[in-house]
Amino acid sequence: MAHLLTESWINEFFFIAVVLSASSFFGFTIASRIKSILPGPQDNRFDQPFKRIKNIFKHVFAQSKMWRRPSIGLAHFLIFWGFCMVSLGTIAFLLEGLRFHVGWAQNFIFLGIQDFFTVLVIAAVLFAFFRRLVLKPNHVRLSGDALFILGMILCLMVTDLCIDGASATLKGELKSQAWASFSLAHFLGFPNWSPSVLAGFHLVNWWIHLITVFLFLCYLPFSKHFHVITAAPNIFFGTLIPWGRMKTLDLENSEHFGVDRLDQLSWKQKLDTLACTECGRCSDACPATTMGKKLDPANIIINLRHHLEHKDVNTSLHGQTISEEELWACTTCAACMHACPLTIEHIPAITDMRRHLVLMEGKMPEEAMLALRNLEQKGNPWGISEQERESWLDTQGITPLNEGDSVDLLFWIGCAGSFDDRSKKIVLAMIKILNHAKISFGVIGKHESCTGDPARRIGNEYLFQMLVQGNVEALNKFNYKKLLTICPHCMNSLKHEYQEFGLYNSKILHHSVFIKELMDKGLIRLKEAQASQTVTLHDSCYLTRYNDIVDAPREALKSVPGTQLIEMKRHGKSNFCCGAGGGRMWMEEDKSARVNVQRAEEAVQTGAQTLITECPFCMTMMRDGTRAMSEKERADPMVVKDIAEWVSEHLA
Amino acid sequence: MNIAVCIKQVPNTEAQVILNDGILAFSDPKKIINPYDEFAIEAALRAKEQAFPDASVTAITLGPESATEALRTALAMGCDQAIHITHEPHPGWLAPLTVGQAIGAALRQVDLVFCGRQGIDHDDFTVPYVIANAHQMSCINVVKEITYKPEEKKLWVVRESDGGQKEYFECPMPAVLGISIGLNKPRYPSLPGIMKAKKKAIESLNLTDLVSDSNCTWIQPSTYELPKAKEACKMIKGDIAEQASELARILKEDLHIV
Ligand code: SF4
Ligand code: SF4
């Protein structure tokens, strides 16, 4: 941006005064923000710097998550890069104001590129205005804040062009390379203006631009556009730990467990609240919000920020800021975290607050309490005698291993597989596949207990650790190389959470992946296709978003001759939860708006004949969902089958 | 002011009864607090919180070493102290009269005693009355509702009989109350509560110091017999005609009914 400072010392004095006071104000605000987020438990986010830098390239420079909606992705991409280019111009503008000579800023190539971005930003801002004021999509919250910020950006861009056009005209250097300011100057007829009027015009624009720059800077920390500053650090410090591994609490040496007050959230969890742009992507993806429940992940983050900004650090977050109803509605499906372009971590915040309710106050929905009591007393959430784990295997002629036995593949049957009649059929189907492929395996019967996944996600870390210790002790009595399970929740816990408690190192496999492996090795022979059969696949959140398992089940299904997979609109990593995760399986749900019914509708809409699941809990939820739908529509419910059942039915 | 709550450790409700060489055992070694007693603990804690803030709540049990686990749970829920009455191992179990006498003797000064209405293992419905008798206290069992009148040292108690009719009592203190399910919602112990309970001392008393040998009655059946396992249904396969002829054949040839 070319600069033409008048000789007046008053001008210079005010310039310096504005720069100094605005910078100190901005510096002070930032320092106080940093101070406000610092107190809290340790949270080391400085490890693996290269991975973190890679994330900056991915999520900041390439804006990878924004492209999921291409038109918005493009607009934001242009605004982002335009903003960076224009900021270079602003830096030059300020340096020149301080009487430094900035050669590159006069370079016509730079001016040309900068003009290009300035115009792009103007176009993007106008589109953003149009979207907010005319199109009004659901997830975008119309706020004065957003309009004010957009207005300021527009003002900066327009004044920028005016300054450049006027200054070049006055210097007699109006060149077509700076095409936008050149065109504007000709459009407004600058060459015909008297020099004094043009100089006045320049001065006014110059001051408006300067004041807007600093107004923007000083206003930022108070607005959701603070993300302009916080986004990059938030992404840099984003978690590198698998989402499926919840933070372990030190039960022996702590006095408080979970989060009641802000100073019990780590600095990064508080930085998250300052980074949120209120874009609503997380809410859009959230099954609870979609079904009209009180939980809205964006609100959780925004309300924490309001608490941080306006309330005493000693006031409890529970009650006014975050209600119990919101916390208990979460299925920990991670759709929010997957959707958030700023890699904000909603689930740890939610489960940390649940931990406070359960561990410190003994508060939770009654049904959740019953599930925890069953886990404590019986070792499984169903509350059925542990004896059943062995007695039903016995009816199938399967004898558990003896302590010390060695086996290549250990089949972890899990609670659903042991106590739920429908899930037992999945186990049998998997055994049929193993026998077909001549894979020997062992089970450990009554040595199994619940992995503790529901206890941990409901918030009872104490019970979780007790169950883990029991299971690790039990598992370590056997020698095995691979651990197979039909339950994504068991798999997730065993894979990500058990090593820390001393589980013998082995490969932990979900059955869909193992089936695919067996197919690849040519160990599975399938029947010739009789007729084409259409299926749709309901992904498990704990497979896709937590463990990156998207393709294996699809490829396995497609390998079955005659099977035609029709995808639901939301599938793979963008799948919609069944409603059972995070311990929700064990809690009542308002019958009027149930997550599983919504998902069942999506499955039915594909027109596929069969709905395939890959998790015993999804199976229960989808069966209930399809039945509820069929009652409404008086039709036969859609058939729901586990992927193991589908493959086993097609064995040659 | 002293409040006591009597609890018992019982076999897991889901455990199957098995016979090992003629000795009764359970498929699942995990034991639990008698479910009625959980409501009694909650009632005792609420009595303190709602009416007698200065009271001290003592949980008391009689049983083997493992019974201390039940006491730890009671402490974690909020009881102030715990007493464990121990006895020599015995293949049988103690008569409820002996249990009541032992507990009665262990509780020296007491104004309110809460018990579960019955133990789910032997269903005797007896211990509350024996304790009341030992201390000459009022006693109401199968209590559904309680209102405290601390100034008058009285309680309003609603008792529900089997048929569902309600009986209202004005009950003078000291009193023994047998608590039924549904009186309250037992609280979930907090983790700091559990941690503190782990470290608390449990007072240990010996049965023989409380009840003389001649008054100690042990119950031990001569033999046991377990109920016969239900015979599984037999499903007849085939189409209707095949099923009908197979049914006829079974009735005639196997069962000799027709
Ligand atoms: S984890 Fe799922 S249910 Fe919970 S807030 Fe996020 S999107 Fe909503
Ligand atoms: S948490 Fe992330 S996705 Fe949700 S509103 Fe904030 S920035 Fe958007």
Q: A2: pLDDT confidence band, cut at 50, 70 and 90?
A: very low
* Number of Cα atoms under 13 Å in the Cβ half of residue A142: 10
Residue whose CB lies within 8 A of the most ligand 2 atoms, among A227, A330, A342, for a mutation test: A342
ipTM score over 0.85, yes or no = no
Mean pLDDT of A76-91: 83
What strand order describes the sheet that includes B81-86? B166-172, B154-160, B138-149, B175-179, B112-116, B2-7, B56-62, B81-86, B203-206
Q: A179: pLDDT confidence band, cut at 50, 70 and 90?
A: confident
Q: Do B28 and A378 touch (CB under 8 A)?
A: yes
Question: Reduced to 3 states, what is the DSSP secondary structure of residue A367?
Answer: helix
Domains defined for chain B, CATH in brackets: 2-219 (3.40.50.620), 228-258 (no CATH)
pLDDT in tens, B67-126: 999 999 999 999 999 999 999 988 889 999 999 999 999 998 899 999 999 998 888 889
Residue identified by tokens 């001392």 is B201
Contact A651, A524 (CB under 8 A): yes
A549 to chain B, minimum CA–CA distance in Å?
36
A360 to chain B, minimum CA–CA distance in Å?
5
Structural tokens at position A403: 């302590």
Element (H, E) at B82: strand B81-86
Residue whose CB lies within 8 A of the most ligand 1 atoms, among A286, A301, A323, for a mutation test: A286
Rg of the Cα trace of chain B? 24
Q: Which residue among A386, A461, A462 places its CB closest to the CB of B28?
A: A386
CB of A412 within 8 Å of a chain B CB? The answer is no
B66 to chain A, minimum CA–CA distance in Å?
14
CA of A272 to the centre of ligand 2 (A): 9
CB of A450 within 8 Å of a chain B CB? The answer is no
Instruction: For residue B75, give the nearest of B181, B177, B203, B189 by alpha carbon.
Output: B189
The answer to whether residue A170 scores a pLDDT higher than 90 is no
Residue whose CB lies within 8 A of the most ligand 1 atoms, among A577, A578, A599, for a mutation test: A577
pLDDT in tens, A317-363: 999 899 999 999 999 999 999 999 999 999 999 999 999 999 999 99
Query: What is the residue-averaged pLDDT of chain A?
Result: 91
The answer to whether residue A1 scores a pLDDT higher than 50 is no
pLDDT in tens, A421-461: 999 999 999 999 999 999 999 999 999 999 999 999 999 99
Question: Reduced to 3 states, what is the DSSP secondary structure of residue A479?
Answer: strand
Contact A523, A437 (CB under 8 A): yes
Report the pLDDT value the prediction gives residue B200, as an integer from 0 to 100: 94
The ligand minimizing its distance to the Cα of A301 is 2
If you write DSSP's letter for every residue of A102-157 in order, what string do you get? -GGGG-HHHHHHHHHHHHHHHHHHHHHHHIIIII--TTPPP-HHHHHHHHHHHHHH
Report the pLDDT value the prediction gives residue B199, as an integer from 0 to 100: 92
If you write DSSP's letter for every residue of A19-79 in order, what string do you get? HHHHHHHHHHHHHHHHHHH--SS-----S-HHHHHHHIIIIIIS-GGGGGSHHHHHHHHHH
- Cβ neighbours for A224, distance < 8 A, ≥ 6 positions apart: A143, A145, A146, A276, A277, A278
Report residues whose beta carbon is within 6 angstroms of any ligand 1 atom: A 285-288, 295, 297, 330-336, 346-347
CB of A326 within 8 Å of a chain B CB? The answer is no
Q: B146: pLDDT confidence band, cut at 50, 70 and 90?
A: very high
Four-way CATH pick for A524-649: 3.30.70, 1.10.3470, 3.30.1150, 3.40.50:
3.40.50
Amino acid present at A554: R
Q: How far is CA A509 from CA A240, A340, A426, A494, B40, in A?
A: 22, 29, 16, 10, 46
Contact B112, B137 (CB under 8 A): no
Q: What gap in Å lies between CA B37 and CA B45, rounded to an integer?
A: 12
Q: Picking from A159-163, A273-277, B68-72, B235-239, which range would have the lowest pLDDT averaged per residue?
A: B235-239
Report the pLDDT value the prediction gives residue A4, as an integer from 0 to 100: 46
The ligand minimizing its distance to the Cα of A350 is 1
Contact A236, A275 (CB under 8 A): no
B20 to chain A, minimum CA–CA distance in Å?
16
pLDDT in tens, A489-527: 999 999 999 999 999 877 999 999 999 999 999 999 999
Instruction: For residue A415, give the nearest of A487, A506, A331 by alpha carbon.
Output: A487
CA of A91 to the centre of ligand 1 (A): 41
Q: B232: pLDDT confidence band, cut at 50, 70 and 90?
A: low
CA of A300 to the centre of ligand 2 (A): 10
Q: Do B30 and A366 touch (CB under 8 A)?
A: no
CATH number given to A379-519: 3.40.50
CA of A251 to the centre of ligand 2 (A): 32
| Predicted model pTM | 0.88
Best of A386, A395, A419, A463 to disrupt the B interface (most B CBs within 10 Å) is A386
Q: What gap in Å lies between CA A350 and CA A228, rounded to an integer?
A: 25
Report the pLDDT value the prediction gives residue A23, as an integer from 0 to 100: 92
Mean pLDDT of A552-574: 96
pLDDT in tens, A361-416: 999 999 999 999 999 988 999 999 888 899 889 888 899 999 999 999 999 999 99
Q: Do B14 and A378 touch (CB under 8 A)?
A: yes
CA of A173 to the centre of ligand 2 (A): 46
Question: Any idea which fold A262-363 has?
Answer: Fumarate Reductase Iron-sulfur Protein; Chain B, domain 2 (1.10.1060)
pLDDT in tens, A256-271: 999 999 999 999 999 9
Report the pLDDT value the prediction gives residue A361, as an integer from 0 to 100: 95
The answer to whether residue A174 scores a pLDDT higher than 80 is no
